[in-house]
Amino acid sequence: MKKSILISITVVCLLAGCISPENESKKLERMFTIGTTMPIKSINIFSDYYFGILRDLMMDRLVSIGEGGTIHPELAESWETKENGKTWIFKLRRASFHDGKTLTAEDVAFTINYLREKVPEYRSHLALVEKAEAVDERTVKIVLSKPWSNFLWNLAVVNILPKHVWENVEKPLEFVDTKATIGNGPFVFESFDKSSGLLVFRANENYWKGKPKVDKIVFRIFTNDQAMLMALIKGEVDTIYFYARGIDPAIVSGLLGKENLSFIVVDNLGVDNALWFNCQRYPFDVKDFRIAISYALSYEEYAKYIAAGYAEVPNAGFVPKGWKFYKETRKLEKNLSVTNEILEKLGFRDCNGDGWRDYPDCTAFEMKLAYRTDIVESSRLAEFIKRDLENVGLKVRLQPLDNPSFRQVLDRDKTHDLAISRTTMWGMGMWAGYATGYFDARNIGWANVADQRLLEIIDALLNETVEEKRRELIYKLQDIYAEELYAIPLYWGKIVQPYRSDKVSGLVYNPMMGIIGDETWFKILIK
């Protein structure tokens, strides 16, 4: 009986061909298989956020972001600014779209105008763009309503669309035809099979940088990390990918020593986890109170236990090392006597002997600590922080929120007291750059800062295009972050990217896009 069951299973499997036919096709072409848990649902780069993450594979941008947040030429081979950063003129390279049509300045101008008119997200990214126009076939002029020094950073997320495809598309978010994937990028979209969880791209033979060193990229979509990691260990996928994230450092130790598994470890230019104060709520609007909290936190433990050692204790200046204009500020440290002394001075003492500090008027004090439940490290950190703050008598109520609730509370309502969240590398560069978007109450503003001192620096930075002066402003910005502690970085982490060294080598980690950045496609070696 048992034997016949085994035979039946084997026969079914063989008939179904489930014993890895990918190896067969891999022999014929250089195929790179990536596992991902990004829940891709459609092939529209605007309405499907996660498919949009992959748009650089299909469509180039004028400029891209490289090491230290520096801007690199991409489709634009050069550019100049006039009128103190109000007018930008870009000279384009020769390139053609996947359907063979030449990419011209008309396409670039169309893309900028089209996106700011029709795609909500870009209406914010390109809010200051007055108009874009083609000067000649390879020159495009973009006029802004006022100087905007950080304009190039926003252009780094604008992928050039073919005018001949999109000009008649009234509702870009609903356009799911395969034509919506046409660009000039290194890969051509081939297929998306949601049922099988497969997304396939093929190398663009006519790419202006040359044909990529991989013929085909296959994304295999998983919905649980454990299955994806098993697939990696087993060699069903060559590596794994999720935007702005490596694997959870806590599971790295379990993977070390696995046969043929190697790791790329790089500094994260985003802040893995930070503690954000709502700086327009008492007592978080009091600088000394924020400083008191900063001395109550166990940074070394966070780096050791939450980031499994793939992190270091951060500086008060928030911006991680590795950024072009990074400035050394004081290292954060734990010192409970400083915390207690400041809290006593501010009048936060235990009035009724229940073990918890109260407001200076002796009413009960409790802080809500919001955190994102979709980021596993944040959930763990919340427990650590609660413990640390309760150690100094500050009562904390945890407020676990899924992503939509978190955004509602922090982005819109601003009803939080404290919150734990990460910043991405691209997010760090938003607004005036160097995390200003996350601090400034006029933007995303998780720290909800309306402090004129900070806002003046941000405004100056937005207007300043001279590099020397910008550097001075960015140094000042980090000084004020360190002094005011509107948010406390909890650790500066590293990104750990695992891959199968028996199947692939030459992966390069782009600080913004990770291993699917352009650098990988010309260095990768499929074995």
Partner 1 sequence: MVQNFDKIILFLKYFLTISVVVTLNFAIPRVMPGDPILNLFGEEAYLYEGILMELKREFGLDKPLHEQYLLYLLNLFSCNLGFSFSFQRPVSEVVAEYMLRTLILTIPSTILGIILGIYLALLIVWKGGERAMVIMILIYSIPAYWLGMVFLYIFSFKFGLFPLGGAVNSVIYINRLILPFLTIVIHIIVLNAIMGRAILAGTLRDSFVLTAISKGLKNSLILRRHVLKPSLAPIIALASIEFGFAFSGSTLVEIVFSYPGIGMLTWEAIKTRDYPILQAIFFIIALVVIIANAIADLISRAIDPRLRS
Residues forming the site for partner 1 (CB under 8 A): 9-10, 12-13, 16-22, 35, 39, 41-42, 44, 47, 49, 52-53, 120-121, 123-124, 127, 173-174, 176, 193-198, 220-224, 226-228, 230-231, 233-234, 236, 374, 401-405, 407-409, 411-412, 424, 426-427, 430-431, 437, 443-444
How far apart (Å, rounded) are the C-alpha atoms in residues 331 and 303? 14
Instruction: CB nearer to partner 1: give 41 or 324.
Output: 41
Distance of closest approach, residue 404 Cβ to partner 1, in angstroms: 3
Both tokens assigned to 315: 């500086």
Instruction: CB nearer to partner 1: give 290 or 500.
Output: 500
Both tokens assigned to 320: 């991680």
Both tokens assigned to 313: 């204790």
* Cβ atoms within 10 Å, residue 184: 26
Which residues, 6+ apart, have CB-to-CB distance to 415 below 8 Å?
278, 409
Question: Could you tell me which of 245, 240, 242 has the C-alpha nearest to residue 273?
Answer: 245
CA 516 to chain centre: 13
Distance of closest approach, residue 50 Cβ to partner 1, in angstroms: 9
What SS3 class is residue 432? coil
Contacts 24+ apart (CB under 8 A), 473-480: 474/325, 474/327, 474/433, 474/434, 475/325, 475/327, 477/434, 477/436, 478/317, 478/318, 478/319, 478/326, 478/327, 478/329, 478/434, 479/317, 479/327, 479/329, 480/453, 480/454
Instruction: CB nearer to partner 1: give 35 or 283.
Output: 35
How far apart (Å, rounded) are the C-alpha atoms in residues 376 and 396? 20
Instruction: CB nearer to partner 1: give 236 or 459.
Output: 236
Instruction: CB nearer to partner 1: give 13 or 525.
Output: 13
Instruction: CB nearer to partner 1: give 323 or 365.
Output: 323
Distance of closest approach, residue 194 Cβ to partner 1, in angstroms: 6
Distance of closest approach, residue 123 Cβ to partner 1, in angstroms: 5
Strands (E) in 395-462, as ranges, are 396-401, 418-421
How far apart (Å, rounded) are the C-alpha atoms in residues 247 and 265? 11
Distance of closest approach, residue 23 Cβ to partner 1, in angstroms: 9
Distance of closest approach, residue 111 Cβ to partner 1, in angstroms: 18
| DSSP annotation of 94 | P
How far apart (Å, rounded) are the C-alpha atoms in residues 321 and 433? 15
How far apart (Å, rounded) are the C-alpha atoms in residues 320 and 422? 12
Dihedral sign from CA coordinates of 100, 103, 106, 111: positive
Distance of closest approach, residue 443 Cβ to partner 1, in angstroms: 5
Distance of closest approach, residue 255 Cβ to partner 1, in angstroms: 14
Instruction: CB nearer to partner 1: give 122 or 207.
Output: 122
Q: Parallel, antiparallel, or unpaired for β 525-526 and 396-401?
A: unpaired
Instruction: CB nearer to partner 1: give 174 or 354.
Output: 174
Instruction: CB nearer to partner 1: give 1 or 18.
Output: 18
Instruction: CB nearer to partner 1: give 57 or 482.
Output: 57
Distance of closest approach, residue 426 Cβ to partner 1, in angstroms: 6
Distance of closest approach, residue 54 Cβ to partner 1, in angstroms: 13
Residue given tokens 């978007």 in the structure block: 437
